[in-house]
Every structure is written in C-alpha cells, then in structure tokens.
Amino acid sequence: MKYASVTTSVFLALAFSCLSVSAAEYRQNELIVKFKPVPGASHVMASGKENRPVIIAVDNASEALDEMQGRSDVEYVEPNYVIEAEDIPADWPYDAAQWSALELPEAWDILDQHGPGHRVVIAVVDSGVDAAHPDLQGILAPGYDFANNDGVPEDDAGHGTKVCGIIGALGGNGIGVAGVAWNIDIEIMPLKFMKNNGGKTTGSLSDAVSAIYHAVDNGADIINASWGFYSYSHSLSDAIRYAQDHGVMFICSAGNKGQDNDTNGHYPSNYPHENVIAVAAMNSFGEIASFSNYGITTVDIAAPGVGICTTDKNGGYSTYSSGTSFATPFVTSVAAMVRYLSPGLGVTDVRSILLDSVIAGERLYFQNIASGGCINAYQALLSEAQYDASAKTSAPGANEDGDAAVASGEDGGGGGCLIDSGRNPGNPLGLLIIFSLTVLFRMPFMRRSG
C-alpha cells in the first residue's frame, strides 16, 4: 500500500530513465534493455508472449547506457544492478524471549477445524534451499538456479533455507522448528538468483526478474522476496506487475538501513503495485527494530524479524537470524493461510485482509508504517471468513445466510521461534515461546493509489 500517486510514479520512472549509472553497484559488462515491439521480432527474457527485457553484453555499462537511451527502438535501458539479501549479523543485541502476539495457535485451530483447503505454491526467490534438510522434506516443488543456469537451486549461502524454514518447516516431527504455515498444504518453489559472494548473499537484477517471471509462469500463488536495493528498476517493476496481472502476491522486505522509505527509495518494496506488501522487522519488545526501514506510505506491516529460529544450510538450524528478510516470510505464511482457505480472493482482497487485521500499539515507529501494526494470523483468518461469507451471500443462488462459518478461539499468543517438541505446535505445551501483547490502539491504513 503506497501513497505515491500514479503521476508521481510516472515522473520518477521518467526521471530515472534519463540518468546515467548511479553509485549503486551493478555489473560492468551488461545492461537490461526492453525494446519496443517490432512485428515479426521477439525480445523476451523468458518464454511467453509478453515483450520482456533482455540482457545485452557491453564493454562499458555507463557509456553504453548513454548511447542506448537515445535509440528510437528502445523502450527503456538500465544497469544490471546487484541485489543483496536483507539479513543482518547474527549477533544483533536483542533478547528474543518475548514477542508481540501473532495468535498463531488460534489460527492453526481455525485451519484444523476447516479441514483440507487448496494447495498454495510459494515461490521463494532467494539463494536456493538445502533440499536435503530433514525439516523441509515433502514441501519443496521443483525449482531453478538462475545464478548458475541449472535445475538444482542448492543453497550455498543459507539465506533461502532460513526463509523456507520460517514459512514451512515441518511441525509435529519431533525435530528442529515448526514453520508458521506448517499445517496447511503448501509447496515451496525455490528459485535461486543469489549466492554466497565473499560472505554476502548477492545476485543480479536480471536473474531476479527472470525468477519472478518463472514463478508466475509455473503456478506460484505467492512470491517471497527477502531482498532489495536502492535504485529504481523498470524491468523489476514490469515483472511484479506481470505477477499482479496473474493474481500472484508479491511480499517483500522493507530494508535494513533504518531509513524512511517515503523519502529514500528502496525496491521492490516501494513499488505501488496492488500485489506488493512491504514488511518491516519487529523486535522482541513489540517495537520496529532500529535497523528496519519504515515509511507511512511505503511500508505496509510489521512482523517478527529479530532473533528468529529457523532452518539453515547443511541440515542445521539458525537460532538467532535477524533482518527484514526474516520478517517477510511471516507475512507470506499468513497470506498463504488466507489463500489456502479462499483461493478465489484477488490480490487486493488479500492485502486488505492482512492489513486490516493487524495488532497495533503505541510503539516506536509503529505510527510510521501504513497499517500501524504487526501481522496477526488469527484475526486475518477471521477477516478471511467474513470476506468469504460476504462473497457467497452476494453470489447468484446463494442462500440467505451464505455457506461460510467463522471459527472462533480464545485470545492468546503466537510464536516467532517455534520449537518443534513432537507435539502439535498449536498446543502451547509444544511451543518454547508464547507471545503476549496488550492492544492499545489500531491505526487505519490508506489505500494504495498507484
């Protein structure tokens, strides 16, 4: 949910198209170019009918950019920026013993009472996954490695495996941790575009764009993008709009510079597309973490992002992962719960459900994000039931009362580090951590206008 107007977005896009290469890191020998459609010619980055951008090899990106901007057959040209995963050092000084309420056990109860739903495919566009990890067995769909151009998206950085574990690590198997969406029918599609680069997890813009098109073309319902950079990209905007046009949610991290994204660009979180949800990180005290970016018009919602327990590469576990990278899959997981119960909901409906159902409080910077609060799984599912019931009663031939029933549960806690004890993680005895939060106020959010 962004407040930038369409006019402002167009102005910024035109302004960026007239710039030479900025100080941002980019590949020196490549450019991303989208050619204007020409009858009988095909310029595509991936298979499909759409006119997609292509990568061209150049000797000097800066010089070639200036030369190509004036060509009549070019719609836009831009550097192939380097994108970085948005995690932070594992020794970030916060105590993860307590979290604000997500009401996950109550949400899990609703899901159990509902019975089987619709399978949800989540594309994790990241650094791949440890496919052999015992806590991720049976939930991984075929993926692809765009960084190395092969069909084995093996994770050499650990970042993607951490994200996958937060979403769907197996519950009730007596080992490791339980993911937020552990008890619904999900498939995680690992699409690798980043890899370990001297201790950093980085990848190219062009590979990220290719991965997004691949996700949409291969049946993804939701894309998780736990990464970002600080330069506007036409090609990335086009890819996310393509996802929107095909009903695919795009949930992304807000960034880790502690900045106001309203006045400082961060992408993809700042794009005003209806399918984008930008996620800030919340610490264990129920505050926006000091490293997290924020923005009343550009950052939508908060989620736990400090001291998260999750799966790691080589079959291991990370006990203290922090960053907006790891807040993002919490929101992705709740979006998956909503889609599991109501696959027919559009992207704007899912956004509204998640942002209308936040838990809000008078905390540091919570007034500086659009929804004013953190993700709440239980309230989101109650809202989903209301949306579903309303749709059924308004449909031709629906009975007076509709068909949907709203499940109820007691107010309670959720989890940021879900330790799998072998019991049903919906049972508080099966959790290491129970969350609590006094709800002080709820800040309404404004609708995206672009």
Q: Which tens digits make up the pLDDT trace of 391-403? A: 655 544 444 333 3
Please provide the distance, in angstroms rounded to a whole number, between the alpha carbons at the two ends of the chain: 9
Ordered DSSP codes for 409-422:
-------SS-B--S
**65 and 92 belong to one structural domain:** no
Range of the domain at 354: 85-430
**71 and 174 belong to one structural domain:** no
**238 and 380 belong to one structural domain:** yes
- Could you tell me what percent of the chain has a pLDDT over 90? 58
**70 and 144 belong to one structural domain:** no
pLDDT at 332 over 80: yes
Contact 301, 331 (CB under 8 A): yes
**192 and 227 belong to one structural domain:** yes
| Structural domain contains residue 319 | yes
pLDDT at 106 over 70: yes
Length of the chain: 450
CATH for 193: 3.40.50.200
**395 and 336 belong to one structural domain:** yes
| Structural domain contains residue 372 | yes
**43 and 104 belong to one structural domain:** no
Number of domains in the chain: 2
Domain edge (last residue) among 81, 101, 123:
81
| 246-303 confidence digits (pLDDT tens) | 999 999 999 999 999 999 999 999 999 999 999 999 988 888 999 999 999 999 999 9
| Structural domain contains residue 449 | no
| Structural domain contains residue 168 | yes
| Structural domain contains residue 400 | yes
User: What amino acid positions are annotated as catalytic residues?
Assistant: 126, 159, 325
Q: Return the closest-CA partner of residue 268 out of 246, 245, 224, 237.
A: 237
- Binning pLDDT at 50, 70 and 90, where does residue 89 land? low
Q: What is the pLDDT, as a whole number, of residue 3?
A: 43
Structure tokens at 438: 């006094």
**289 and 223 belong to one structural domain:** yes
| Structural domain contains residue 271 | yes
- Binning pLDDT at 50, 70 and 90, where does residue 72 land? confident
- Binning pLDDT at 50, 70 and 90, where does residue 430 land? very low
CA 333 to CA 310: how far, in whole Å? 14
Q: What is the pLDDT, as a whole number, of residue 260?
A: 97
pLDDT at 90 over 90: no
Q: Return the closest-CA partner of residue 300 out of 319, 323, 277, 320.
A: 277
Kindly report the pTM of this predicted structure.
Answer: 0.81
Q: For 98-124, what is the mean pLDDT? A: 85
| Structural domain contains residue 436 | no
Burial status of residue 450 (CB atoms within 10 A of its CB: 0-12, 13-18, 19 or more): middle
pLDDT at 372 over 80: yes
- Work out the mean pLDDT of the chain and round it to a whole number: 80
| Structural domain contains residue 238 | yes
